[in-house]
Amino acid sequence: MKKLVIHNQSKIKKQILSYFQSTEDLKLSYRLHCILMLIENETLSCEDVAKLHGTTPQTIARWIHAFNKTGGDISVLKDKEKPGRAPRVSEVQLNIISDVLKKDPREYGIKADRWEGSTLSELLKQKFNIDLKIRQCQRIMKKLGLANKKGRDWSNRPPEQ
Give residue 151's pLDDT: 47
Q: Tens-digit pLDDT profile for the chain (161 aa)?
A: 777 888 888 888 788 777 766 666 778 888 988 999 999 988 899 999 998 888 899 999 999 999 899 988 988 988 888 788 888 888 999 999 999 888 888 898 888 888 999 999 999 998 889 999 999 999 999 988 876 655 455 555 555 55
Domains of the chain, residue spans: 9-77, 91-143
CATH of domain 9-77: 1.10.10
Contacts of 158 (CB under 8 A, 6+ apart): none
